[in-house]
Amino acid sequence: MAIHDPLRVFTISLGCPKNRVDTEFLLGALGGAYAPAQDITSADVVLINTCAFIEPAVEESVQQILEVADDISDLVPRPLLAVTGCLVARYGQDLKAGLPEVDLWLPLAEQDQWGERLAQALGRSFPGGRERILTTGPASAYLKISEGCDHACRFCIIPQLRGPLQSRPVEELVREAGSLVDQGARELVLVAQDVSNYGQDLGMRQGLQRLVEALSAVPGLDWIRLLYLYPVGVTTELLRFLRDSAPLVVPSFDIPLQHAHPDILTQMGRPFARDPYRVIATVRDVLPQAALRTSLIVGYPGEKEAHFAYLRQFVQEVRFHNLGVFPYYAEEGTPAATLPDQVPEAVKNDRREQIMGDQAQISETILESCQGTTMDVLVERPDPHWPTLFQGRVWFQAPEVDGVTYVSGHSLQAGQLVHAEIEESKTYDLVALVPEEK
Protein backbone atom coordinates (compact mmCIF):
# COMPACT_ATOMS: atom_id res chain seq x y z
CA MET A 1 0.00 0.00 0.00
CA ALA A 2 1.53 3.30 -1.06
CA ILE A 3 1.66 6.10 1.47
CA HIS A 4 -1.08 8.12 -0.27
CA ASP A 5 -3.39 5.21 -1.17
CA PRO A 6 -6.83 5.28 0.48
CA LEU A 7 -6.98 3.27 3.68
CA ARG A 8 -9.76 0.73 3.17
CA VAL A 9 -11.37 0.02 6.54
CA PHE A 10 -14.00 -2.62 7.32
CA THR A 11 -15.77 -1.95 10.61
CA ILE A 12 -17.80 -4.18 12.93
CA SER A 13 -19.55 -2.38 15.79
CA LEU A 14 -21.11 -4.60 18.42
CA GLY A 15 -23.37 -3.62 21.29
CA CYS A 16 -24.98 -0.24 21.86
CA PRO A 17 -25.20 2.82 19.57
CA LYS A 18 -22.54 4.57 21.66
CA ASN A 19 -20.01 2.08 20.27
CA ARG A 20 -21.02 2.95 16.73
CA VAL A 21 -20.42 6.63 17.46
CA ASP A 22 -16.91 5.82 18.72
CA THR A 23 -16.25 3.89 15.52
CA GLU A 24 -17.42 6.80 13.39
CA PHE A 25 -15.12 9.18 15.26
CA LEU A 26 -12.15 6.92 14.52
CA LEU A 27 -13.02 6.89 10.83
CA GLY A 28 -13.21 10.68 10.91
CA ALA A 29 -9.78 10.84 12.56
CA LEU A 30 -8.35 9.15 9.46
CA GLY A 31 -9.32 12.22 7.46
CA GLY A 32 -9.07 11.97 3.71
CA ALA A 33 -7.18 8.69 3.98
CA TYR A 34 -10.33 6.71 4.82
CA ALA A 35 -12.26 4.66 2.29
CA PRO A 36 -14.90 2.08 3.23
CA ALA A 37 -14.10 -1.55 2.46
CA GLN A 38 -16.98 -3.59 1.07
CA ASP A 39 -15.85 -6.74 2.84
CA ILE A 40 -13.00 -8.15 4.90
CA THR A 41 -11.11 -9.48 1.89
CA SER A 42 -10.73 -6.01 0.36
CA ALA A 43 -9.75 -4.26 3.61
CA ASP A 44 -6.42 -2.86 4.75
CA VAL A 45 -7.76 -2.66 8.31
CA VAL A 46 -10.52 -4.56 10.08
CA LEU A 47 -11.75 -2.69 13.17
CA ILE A 48 -13.93 -4.50 15.71
CA ASN A 49 -15.59 -2.35 18.37
CA THR A 50 -16.62 -4.77 21.11
CA CYS A 51 -19.26 -4.94 23.83
CA ALA A 52 -18.79 -6.51 27.27
CA PHE A 53 -21.86 -5.32 29.17
CA ILE A 54 -23.13 -8.82 29.93
CA GLU A 55 -21.81 -12.36 29.52
CA PRO A 56 -23.39 -13.04 26.10
CA ALA A 57 -21.89 -9.79 24.79
CA VAL A 58 -18.43 -10.87 25.96
CA GLU A 59 -18.89 -14.23 24.26
CA GLU A 60 -20.10 -12.61 21.04
CA SER A 61 -17.16 -10.19 21.01
CA VAL A 62 -14.56 -12.92 21.51
CA GLN A 63 -16.22 -15.14 18.90
CA GLN A 64 -16.30 -12.27 16.40
CA ILE A 65 -12.59 -11.61 16.89
CA LEU A 66 -11.73 -15.29 16.39
CA GLU A 67 -13.90 -15.58 13.29
CA VAL A 68 -12.38 -12.50 11.67
CA ALA A 69 -8.85 -13.61 12.58
CA ASP A 70 -9.51 -16.95 10.90
CA ASP A 71 -11.05 -15.33 7.82
CA ILE A 72 -8.06 -13.05 7.21
CA SER A 73 -5.29 -15.48 8.20
CA ASP A 74 -4.56 -16.60 4.65
CA LEU A 75 -5.06 -13.28 2.89
CA VAL A 76 -2.06 -11.70 1.18
CA PRO A 77 -1.54 -9.02 2.18
CA ARG A 78 -3.25 -9.71 5.50
CA PRO A 79 -5.36 -6.82 6.86
CA LEU A 80 -4.40 -5.33 10.20
CA LEU A 81 -6.84 -6.46 12.91
CA ALA A 82 -7.62 -3.72 15.46
CA VAL A 83 -9.93 -4.16 18.44
CA THR A 84 -11.42 -1.59 20.82
CA GLY A 85 -14.52 -1.16 22.96
CA CYS A 86 -15.74 -2.36 26.32
CA LEU A 87 -14.07 -5.78 26.06
CA VAL A 88 -10.71 -3.99 26.06
CA ALA A 89 -11.76 -1.77 28.97
CA ARG A 90 -12.97 -4.74 31.01
CA TYR A 91 -10.14 -7.22 30.50
CA GLY A 92 -7.22 -5.06 29.40
CA GLN A 93 -3.83 -6.76 29.33
CA ASP A 94 -5.34 -10.22 29.79
CA LEU A 95 -6.59 -10.10 26.21
CA LYS A 96 -3.15 -9.82 24.66
CA ALA A 97 -2.13 -13.27 25.86
CA GLY A 98 -5.48 -14.87 25.11
CA LEU A 99 -5.97 -13.35 21.66
CA PRO A 100 -2.56 -13.01 20.00
CA GLU A 101 -4.30 -12.83 16.60
CA VAL A 102 -5.11 -9.15 17.29
CA ASP A 103 -2.51 -6.72 15.91
CA LEU A 104 -3.62 -3.56 17.71
CA TRP A 105 -5.59 -2.97 20.92
CA LEU A 106 -7.17 0.49 21.26
CA PRO A 107 -8.11 1.30 24.88
CA LEU A 108 -11.25 3.36 25.47
CA ALA A 109 -9.32 5.75 27.69
CA GLU A 110 -7.14 6.73 24.72
CA GLN A 111 -9.82 7.56 22.16
CA ASP A 112 -8.19 10.84 21.22
CA GLN A 113 -5.07 8.87 20.21
CA TRP A 114 -6.77 6.11 18.19
CA GLY A 115 -5.96 7.65 14.82
CA GLU A 116 -2.32 8.19 15.78
CA ARG A 117 -2.01 4.65 17.14
CA LEU A 118 -3.44 3.21 13.94
CA ALA A 119 -1.12 5.33 11.82
CA GLN A 120 1.89 4.08 13.79
CA ALA A 121 0.80 0.45 13.41
CA LEU A 122 0.51 0.91 9.64
CA GLY A 123 3.70 2.92 9.28
CA ARG A 124 2.02 5.87 7.62
CA SER A 125 0.51 9.25 8.41
CA PHE A 126 -2.99 10.59 7.84
CA PRO A 127 -3.79 14.00 6.30
CA GLY A 128 -5.56 15.49 9.31
CA GLY A 129 -8.79 14.49 10.98
CA ARG A 130 -12.34 15.62 10.32
CA GLU A 131 -15.77 15.19 11.84
CA ARG A 132 -17.42 11.80 12.28
CA ILE A 133 -18.07 9.75 9.20
CA LEU A 134 -21.65 8.55 9.28
CA THR A 135 -22.09 4.78 8.83
CA THR A 136 -25.80 4.38 9.60
CA GLY A 137 -27.09 5.46 6.22
CA PRO A 138 -28.52 8.77 5.03
CA ALA A 139 -31.63 8.99 7.21
CA SER A 140 -30.59 8.82 10.84
CA ALA A 141 -27.56 9.35 13.08
CA TYR A 142 -26.76 8.79 16.73
CA LEU A 143 -25.50 11.73 18.79
CA LYS A 144 -23.67 10.64 21.94
CA ILE A 145 -24.23 13.51 24.34
CA SER A 146 -22.29 12.14 27.30
CA GLU A 147 -20.02 9.33 28.39
CA GLY A 148 -20.08 7.27 31.57
CA CYS A 149 -22.62 7.11 34.38
CA ASP A 150 -22.96 8.33 37.97
CA HIS A 151 -25.62 5.80 38.97
CA ALA A 152 -24.71 2.76 41.04
CA CYS A 153 -27.07 0.02 39.91
CA ARG A 154 -25.86 -3.18 41.56
CA PHE A 155 -26.09 -5.33 38.43
CA CYS A 156 -24.29 -2.96 36.06
CA ILE A 157 -20.62 -2.75 35.15
CA ILE A 158 -20.86 0.30 32.89
CA PRO A 159 -19.43 2.82 35.42
CA GLN A 160 -16.38 0.59 35.76
CA LEU A 161 -15.94 0.43 31.99
CA ARG A 162 -16.85 3.96 30.99
CA GLY A 163 -16.21 5.97 34.16
CA PRO A 164 -18.37 8.72 35.72
CA LEU A 165 -20.69 11.06 33.83
CA GLN A 166 -18.84 13.25 31.35
CA SER A 167 -21.19 15.50 29.38
CA ARG A 168 -20.04 17.02 26.12
CA PRO A 169 -20.42 20.81 25.66
CA VAL A 170 -23.55 22.05 23.89
CA GLU A 171 -21.55 23.96 21.29
CA GLU A 172 -19.56 20.86 20.36
CA LEU A 173 -22.71 18.78 19.98
CA VAL A 174 -24.39 21.42 17.82
CA ARG A 175 -21.38 21.49 15.48
CA GLU A 176 -21.41 17.72 15.24
CA ALA A 177 -25.17 17.71 14.61
CA GLY A 178 -24.68 20.13 11.73
CA SER A 179 -22.04 17.87 10.22
CA LEU A 180 -24.32 14.84 10.50
CA VAL A 181 -27.20 16.69 8.84
CA ASP A 182 -24.81 17.76 6.07
CA GLN A 183 -24.12 14.05 5.54
CA GLY A 184 -27.86 13.45 5.08
CA ALA A 185 -29.25 12.74 8.54
CA ARG A 186 -32.86 13.82 9.01
CA GLU A 187 -33.14 12.34 12.50
CA LEU A 188 -30.77 12.65 15.46
CA VAL A 189 -31.02 9.96 18.12
CA LEU A 190 -29.62 11.31 21.38
CA VAL A 191 -27.88 8.53 23.29
CA ALA A 192 -26.14 8.31 26.66
CA GLN A 193 -26.31 5.99 29.59
CA ASP A 194 -28.92 8.43 30.94
CA VAL A 195 -29.81 11.36 28.67
CA SER A 196 -31.85 13.06 31.42
CA ASN A 197 -28.62 13.46 33.42
CA TYR A 198 -27.01 15.51 30.67
CA GLY A 199 -25.10 18.55 31.92
CA GLN A 200 -25.22 17.85 35.64
CA ASP A 201 -21.45 17.35 35.80
CA LEU A 202 -21.04 20.71 34.04
CA GLY A 203 -23.17 22.52 36.59
CA MET A 204 -25.94 23.08 34.06
CA ARG A 205 -29.54 23.44 35.18
CA GLN A 206 -32.03 21.98 32.72
CA GLY A 207 -29.13 20.67 30.67
CA LEU A 208 -31.18 18.41 28.40
CA GLN A 209 -33.68 21.18 27.72
CA ARG A 210 -30.89 23.58 26.76
CA LEU A 211 -29.34 21.01 24.46
CA VAL A 212 -32.63 20.19 22.76
CA GLU A 213 -33.31 23.89 22.17
CA ALA A 214 -29.90 24.32 20.55
CA LEU A 215 -30.21 21.21 18.39
CA SER A 216 -33.71 22.18 17.26
CA ALA A 217 -32.21 25.21 15.52
CA VAL A 218 -29.97 23.05 13.28
CA PRO A 219 -31.29 23.54 9.70
CA GLY A 220 -32.50 20.43 7.87
CA LEU A 221 -33.37 18.40 10.96
CA ASP A 222 -36.82 16.78 11.17
CA TRP A 223 -36.77 14.48 14.20
CA ILE A 224 -34.96 14.34 17.53
CA ARG A 225 -35.29 11.10 19.47
CA LEU A 226 -34.35 10.56 23.14
CA LEU A 227 -33.08 7.15 24.20
CA TYR A 228 -32.46 5.98 27.75
CA LEU A 229 -34.33 8.46 29.95
CA TYR A 230 -33.85 7.13 33.48
CA PRO A 231 -37.13 7.17 35.43
CA VAL A 232 -35.76 9.55 38.07
CA GLY A 233 -35.22 12.16 35.36
CA VAL A 234 -38.70 11.91 33.84
CA THR A 235 -40.18 14.98 35.53
CA THR A 236 -43.31 16.96 34.81
CA GLU A 237 -41.07 19.97 34.09
CA LEU A 238 -39.12 18.10 31.41
CA LEU A 239 -42.23 16.61 29.83
CA ARG A 240 -43.99 19.98 29.63
CA PHE A 241 -40.94 21.44 27.95
CA LEU A 242 -40.94 18.63 25.39
CA ARG A 243 -44.67 19.11 24.80
CA ASP A 244 -44.67 22.90 24.51
CA SER A 245 -41.22 23.92 23.29
CA ALA A 246 -39.64 21.00 21.44
CA PRO A 247 -41.69 20.17 18.31
CA LEU A 248 -38.84 18.19 16.73
CA VAL A 249 -38.67 15.73 19.64
CA VAL A 250 -40.81 12.73 18.79
CA PRO A 251 -42.97 11.73 21.79
CA SER A 252 -41.44 8.27 21.91
CA PHE A 253 -39.33 7.63 24.99
CA ASP A 254 -37.12 4.75 26.08
CA ILE A 255 -37.37 4.59 29.88
CA PRO A 256 -35.33 1.60 31.15
CA LEU A 257 -37.28 0.55 34.23
CA GLN A 258 -35.59 -2.89 34.61
CA HIS A 259 -38.38 -4.08 36.91
CA ALA A 260 -41.66 -2.99 38.46
CA HIS A 261 -41.76 -4.46 41.96
CA PRO A 262 -40.47 -1.99 44.58
CA ASP A 263 -38.60 -4.72 46.48
CA ILE A 264 -36.61 -5.79 43.42
CA LEU A 265 -35.95 -2.19 42.35
CA THR A 266 -34.58 -1.45 45.81
CA GLN A 267 -32.35 -4.53 45.72
CA MET A 268 -31.14 -3.49 42.27
CA GLY A 269 -29.99 -0.14 43.65
CA ARG A 270 -31.92 1.73 41.00
CA PRO A 271 -31.79 5.54 41.32
CA PHE A 272 -35.52 5.49 42.02
CA ALA A 273 -37.47 3.10 44.20
CA ARG A 274 -40.89 4.64 43.98
CA ASP A 275 -43.84 3.03 42.25
CA PRO A 276 -43.01 2.77 38.51
CA TYR A 277 -46.72 3.16 37.76
CA ARG A 278 -46.24 6.79 38.80
CA VAL A 279 -43.50 7.26 36.21
CA ILE A 280 -45.84 6.04 33.48
CA ALA A 281 -48.70 8.15 34.81
CA THR A 282 -46.50 11.26 34.81
CA VAL A 283 -45.69 10.77 31.12
CA ARG A 284 -49.25 10.06 30.09
CA ASP A 285 -50.70 12.94 32.10
CA VAL A 286 -48.56 15.42 30.15
CA LEU A 287 -48.19 13.57 26.84
CA PRO A 288 -51.09 11.12 26.53
CA GLN A 289 -50.10 10.25 22.96
CA ALA A 290 -46.55 9.26 23.93
CA ALA A 291 -45.19 5.88 22.89
CA LEU A 292 -43.14 4.16 25.57
CA ARG A 293 -40.47 1.49 25.35
CA THR A 294 -38.52 -0.06 28.20
CA SER A 295 -36.04 -2.77 29.10
CA LEU A 296 -36.63 -5.31 31.85
CA ILE A 297 -34.50 -7.81 33.75
CA VAL A 298 -36.05 -11.07 34.90
CA GLY A 299 -34.51 -13.50 37.36
CA TYR A 300 -32.67 -10.94 39.47
CA PRO A 301 -31.41 -12.56 42.70
CA GLY A 302 -34.31 -12.94 45.09
CA GLU A 303 -37.02 -12.55 42.44
CA LYS A 304 -39.84 -14.81 43.61
CA GLU A 305 -42.91 -15.91 41.68
CA ALA A 306 -44.90 -13.10 43.31
CA HIS A 307 -42.37 -10.51 42.15
CA PHE A 308 -42.50 -11.87 38.61
CA ALA A 309 -46.30 -11.99 38.61
CA TYR A 310 -46.31 -8.32 39.66
CA LEU A 311 -43.94 -7.45 36.80
CA ARG A 312 -45.99 -9.37 34.28
CA GLN A 313 -49.20 -7.64 35.35
CA PHE A 314 -47.42 -4.30 35.11
CA VAL A 315 -46.48 -5.01 31.48
CA GLN A 316 -50.01 -6.09 30.64
CA GLU A 317 -51.52 -2.97 32.19
CA VAL A 318 -49.05 -0.34 30.94
CA ARG A 319 -48.99 -1.65 27.35
CA PHE A 320 -45.62 -0.47 26.10
CA HIS A 321 -45.22 0.05 22.38
CA ASN A 322 -41.92 -1.81 22.55
CA LEU A 323 -39.84 -3.55 25.20
CA GLY A 324 -36.85 -5.80 25.60
CA VAL A 325 -36.47 -8.47 28.27
CA PHE A 326 -33.14 -9.82 29.45
CA PRO A 327 -32.40 -12.67 31.84
CA TYR A 328 -30.19 -11.52 34.70
CA TYR A 329 -26.49 -12.28 34.31
CA ALA A 330 -24.23 -12.36 37.38
CA GLU A 331 -21.46 -10.12 36.09
CA GLU A 332 -18.12 -10.45 37.84
CA GLY A 333 -17.26 -7.27 39.70
CA THR A 334 -20.84 -6.21 40.41
CA PRO A 335 -22.42 -6.34 43.89
CA ALA A 336 -25.38 -8.36 42.59
CA ALA A 337 -23.14 -11.22 41.49
CA THR A 338 -22.49 -12.22 45.11
CA LEU A 339 -26.09 -12.01 46.29
CA PRO A 340 -27.84 -15.14 47.61
CA ASP A 341 -31.00 -16.58 46.05
CA GLN A 342 -29.71 -16.66 42.48
CA VAL A 343 -32.50 -17.75 40.12
CA PRO A 344 -31.97 -20.88 37.94
CA GLU A 345 -31.28 -20.22 34.26
CA ALA A 346 -34.28 -22.23 33.09
CA VAL A 347 -36.59 -20.14 35.29
CA LYS A 348 -35.11 -16.89 34.00
CA ASN A 349 -35.51 -17.93 30.38
CA ASP A 350 -39.08 -19.09 30.95
CA ARG A 351 -40.00 -15.78 32.55
CA ARG A 352 -38.48 -13.91 29.64
CA GLU A 353 -40.52 -15.93 27.16
CA GLN A 354 -43.73 -15.29 29.08
CA ILE A 355 -43.31 -11.52 29.03
CA MET A 356 -42.23 -11.46 25.40
CA GLY A 357 -45.32 -13.50 24.56
CA ASP A 358 -47.48 -10.92 26.31
CA GLN A 359 -45.69 -8.11 24.52
CA ALA A 360 -46.21 -9.69 21.10
CA GLN A 361 -49.97 -9.56 21.64
CA ILE A 362 -49.80 -5.98 22.92
CA SER A 363 -47.68 -4.84 19.99
CA GLU A 364 -49.98 -6.53 17.48
CA THR A 365 -53.02 -4.75 18.92
CA ILE A 366 -51.30 -1.35 18.99
CA LEU A 367 -50.14 -1.66 15.40
CA GLU A 368 -53.58 -2.80 14.24
CA SER A 369 -54.91 0.57 15.41
CA CYS A 370 -52.58 2.27 12.92
CA GLN A 371 -54.24 0.69 9.89
CA GLY A 372 -56.04 3.22 7.72
CA THR A 373 -54.12 6.20 9.10
CA THR A 374 -51.58 8.42 7.35
CA MET A 375 -48.21 8.73 9.01
CA ASP A 376 -44.79 10.18 8.27
CA VAL A 377 -42.25 7.49 7.37
CA LEU A 378 -38.51 8.10 7.45
CA VAL A 379 -37.19 6.06 4.51
CA GLU A 380 -33.95 4.30 5.41
CA ARG A 381 -32.90 1.74 2.81
CA PRO A 382 -34.16 -0.24 -0.20
CA ASP A 383 -35.59 -3.64 0.61
CA PRO A 384 -33.41 -6.27 -1.08
CA HIS A 385 -36.39 -8.39 -2.18
CA TRP A 386 -38.59 -5.93 -4.12
CA PRO A 387 -37.60 -3.06 -6.46
CA THR A 388 -40.04 -0.39 -5.23
CA LEU A 389 -40.11 -1.47 -1.57
CA PHE A 390 -38.14 0.35 1.11
CA GLN A 391 -37.61 -0.11 4.82
CA GLY A 392 -38.28 2.86 7.05
CA ARG A 393 -39.67 3.86 10.42
CA VAL A 394 -42.58 5.85 11.82
CA TRP A 395 -42.14 8.13 14.82
CA PHE A 396 -42.52 5.44 17.49
CA GLN A 397 -40.02 3.02 15.94
CA ALA A 398 -36.47 3.53 17.20
CA PRO A 399 -33.66 2.47 14.85
CA GLU A 400 -32.18 -1.02 15.14
CA VAL A 401 -34.16 -2.04 18.25
CA ASP A 402 -37.81 -1.78 17.16
CA GLY A 403 -39.86 -2.99 14.22
CA VAL A 404 -39.77 -1.34 10.80
CA THR A 405 -42.27 0.08 8.32
CA TYR A 406 -42.16 -1.40 4.83
CA VAL A 407 -43.08 1.43 2.50
CA SER A 408 -43.59 1.30 -1.25
CA GLY A 409 -44.03 4.00 -3.84
CA HIS A 410 -42.51 5.45 -6.97
CA SER A 411 -39.35 7.57 -6.85
CA LEU A 412 -38.64 6.85 -3.20
CA GLN A 413 -35.11 7.42 -1.95
CA ALA A 414 -33.32 6.69 1.29
CA GLY A 415 -33.29 9.76 3.50
CA GLN A 416 -36.76 11.03 2.56
CA LEU A 417 -39.52 11.76 5.06
CA VAL A 418 -42.77 10.86 3.27
CA HIS A 419 -46.48 10.78 4.03
CA ALA A 420 -47.75 7.22 3.68
CA GLU A 421 -50.97 5.34 4.27
CA ILE A 422 -50.70 2.42 6.68
CA GLU A 423 -52.28 -0.49 4.84
CA GLU A 424 -51.29 -3.49 6.95
CA SER A 425 -49.81 -4.35 10.32
CA LYS A 426 -47.92 -7.32 11.63
CA THR A 427 -46.77 -8.24 15.13
CA TYR A 428 -43.94 -5.70 15.17
CA ASP A 429 -43.92 -4.14 11.68
CA LEU A 430 -46.12 -1.92 9.52
CA VAL A 431 -46.74 -1.90 5.76
CA ALA A 432 -47.39 1.46 4.09
CA LEU A 433 -47.98 2.95 0.65
CA VAL A 434 -47.13 6.43 -0.62
CA PRO A 435 -50.11 7.46 -2.78
CA GLU A 436 -49.41 8.49 -6.36
CA GLU A 437 -49.88 12.18 -7.08
CA LYS A 438 -52.92 12.89 -9.19
Annotated binding site for [4Fe-4S] cluster: 16, 51, 86, 149, 153, 156
Residues at the binding site are 16, 51, 86, 149, 153, 156
**Contact call for residues 409 and 388 (beta carbons, < 8 A):** yes
